Structure 1
Amino acid sequence: MNAGRRRHQKPTPRAGGASASAADALGALARAAGLVMLAGLAAGCVARPVGDFGRAQPGVLHDTVMPYMGAGLAHSRKEPVSSLNQTDQEREMHDRTWRFLVAAHSRDWQFDSSVELQRTRIGRARDHKFTTDRYYAWLRGTQYRSSTTRYATVGRHILADFDTLPATFRAICGVEEVDRQRRIAVAELGSIEPVVAHNVEARRMENQWHVDWFVRALNYRYESYAYALDHLLVETPHERSMAVDEALRRLLPFVERANRGDFCLGGMSGGRDGAVTIRSRFQTMVQDNEVIPQK
């Protein structure tokens, strides 16, 4: 999966006094953000709190303070920052993709904190560095009364992803349509100021970066599940592995569609496509039960 390439906007030249004032303000903002991060890490509260069903809980710190500081830091890094109001479609996309960014295999607070710093743009993207053995390490270290319960846990996590992906894809498709309509409006309405057009392009890039992040997270989950299943087969072989492998096969078409950027076409509610054959890791393990008459 090739993530979208970042493009930097050139800063608008300003008068010397204004530039110095802006620099001082950004410097103060960065220092304040650093204090928030240090205090949050010390208290273990940088990670975004969750409520029922893993939904993000609203709060001033995570919804207002940290995004405000992150916007200032993104400006200082010369990254696009939009000031447009968020549409309902964009809000839904962020709500639905969020559960994929903080996965079931990231139970420790440091991982969740890094995701939240990335989401609010206080910190740079770090999800590129996550390794696929993390989920299996958590799964292996969790004490279960039966080793087969680990297979059930993996299968449950895969199916939870599978069940929410159709609605998540539709939400991303809705945002892509909003971005398309914005570009058309800017092109056809001659009275639109350049600063608004700049905002539209900045929001489009922000949305694309978020979608790219979701795609990376989906790939990471799939690869982590596959890694865990392979190692469970070696450590504690059991016939329940077949059900987990089947769940992975159902998830794969969504991963492939995400990598193609195909969020709007071909509703795949069942996770199967008659024109595509997905090889199972167990195809080489089928026993030969043919009875050969003895001479």
Structure 2
Amino acid sequence: MGPGARVLGPLLLLLGACAQQGDFGRPAPSAWNSLIETTGTLAARERGAPASVFPLTDDETILRDRAWRFLMPADTRAAFEDALANLTRARVLPPRWRSDDIPAYHNDLISEAFRSPYSRYRRLSDDAIADGRLIPPFAAIAERVFAADGVRLRALPFSKSLDDGDVKQAAMRVAENRCIVAWTRLETALRIARYRYALEHFLIEMPGREAAPAEQAITFLEGRRALLDPLLPPDAAARCGLIEPPAQAGLPAPVVAQPVVAKY
């Protein structure tokens, strides 16, 4: 890590705490959020992660906005934990520093003061349904971004004015887009695991008929999450460095295969 990154470290934590969330799970536009995003790109590039200097298209911006909800904690942890999660989402910190922490959502709900178990089941149902409703528009914008990436890659062999740097930046942006989708798909699966863990423990701690709607909500989310599966290969998370690759596997293949040789 360079000296500039070491100096910025404590400041970045403060900036992360100031990040704001807008409607529909998207980050609220603010100077703080913009600064975090810029710093995140620089930090990702320093780590060797895909980070292109190309300006974002409108669809790429929407993709990142819609990923916001799924890359942030589903529970209401302390402000410091939220700040770290936001810095991870913005790629100031690498994704793999975070633990799966499946019990966290349940522990958060059960530790809050509540009058009736109904409110805990209702919160679980509302969260799962809200997540499920946001997946189709995310999948749709991901498909549009991937289609535009295809145009970008097919144009490379026919653009005589491009140099190696331009080609590298294009390939990095394509990889960056795919890794955002892979990360969102991974985090959505972890959310489902957290919701199901919470429901299983609620059934033991405070059984009641409210469990049936909660189960239906989780099933609804699981069905919607299936929309993300065809977008990328199953091993995309490992290729992007989000999880450890299987021990028996060799070196992970690149996220973007043969970006320059594609033809119209």
- The TM-score normalised by the length of structure 2 is 0.80
- Residue 192 of structure 1 aligns to a residue whose secondary structure is coil
Q: Which residue of 1 aligns with 2:9?
A: 34
Cα distance between partner residues in 2 of 1:258 and 1:49 = 26
Cα distance between partner residues in 2 of 1:119 and 1:147 = 32
Q: Radius of gyration: which is bigger?
A: 1
Cα distance between partner residues in 2 of 1:195 and 1:57 = 33
Give the residue type in structure 2 aligned to 1:238: G
Give the residue type in structure 1 aligned to 2:140: R
**CA-CA distance at 1:128 after TM superposition:** 4.8
Q: Is the 8 A contact 1:33 1:122 kept in 2?
A: no
Q: Is the 8 A contact 2:59 2:141 kept in 1?
A: yes
**Gapped runs of 5+ residues in structure 1?**
1-25, 264-295
Q: Which residue of 1 aligns with 2:29?
A: 58
**CA-CA distance at 1:106 after TM superposition:** 3.9
What's the CA shift string for 1:124-182, capped at 9, x where partnerless?
Answer: 11465131100000110111111122111111111111112111111111111111111
**CA-CA distance at 1:246 after TM superposition:** 1.4
Which is further off, 73-82 or 155-164? 73-82
Give the residue type in structure 1 aligned to 2:89: R
| Structure 1 stretches of at least 4 aligned residues deviating more than 4 Å after TM superposition | none
Give the residue type in structure 1 aligned to 2:29: P
Give the residue type in structure 2 aligned to 1:29: G
Cα distance between partner residues in 2 of 1:207 and 1:83 = 13
Counting aligned pairs with the same residue, the percent is 27
Give the residue type in structure 2 aligned to 1:56: P
**CA-CA distance at 1:253 after TM superposition:** 2.2
Q: Which residue of 1 aligns with 2:102?
A: 132
Over 3 Å counting, the alpha-carbon distance change for 1:187 and 1:51 in structure 2 is same
Q: Which residue of 2 aligns with 1:235?
A: 205
Which is further off, 227-236 or 207-216? 207-216
1:71-90 to structure 2, matched below 5 A, reads 71-90=41-60
What's the CA shift string for 1:185-243, capped at 9, x where partnerless?
Answer: 11232332221111100111111221111011101111111001100011111111111
What's the CA shift string for 1:83-104, capped at 9, x where partnerless?
Answer: 1110011011111111111243
**Gapped runs of 5+ residues in structure 2?**
234-264
Determine if the alignment matches structure 1 residue 48 to structure 2 residue 19: yes
Cα distance between partner residues in 2 of 1:222 and 1:30 = 35
Q: Which residue of 1 aligns with 2:172?
A: 202
- The TM-score normalised by the length of structure 1 is 0.72
Q: 1:155 aligns with which of 113, 125, 137?
A: 125
Cα distance between partner residues in 1 of 2:179 and 2:97 = 13
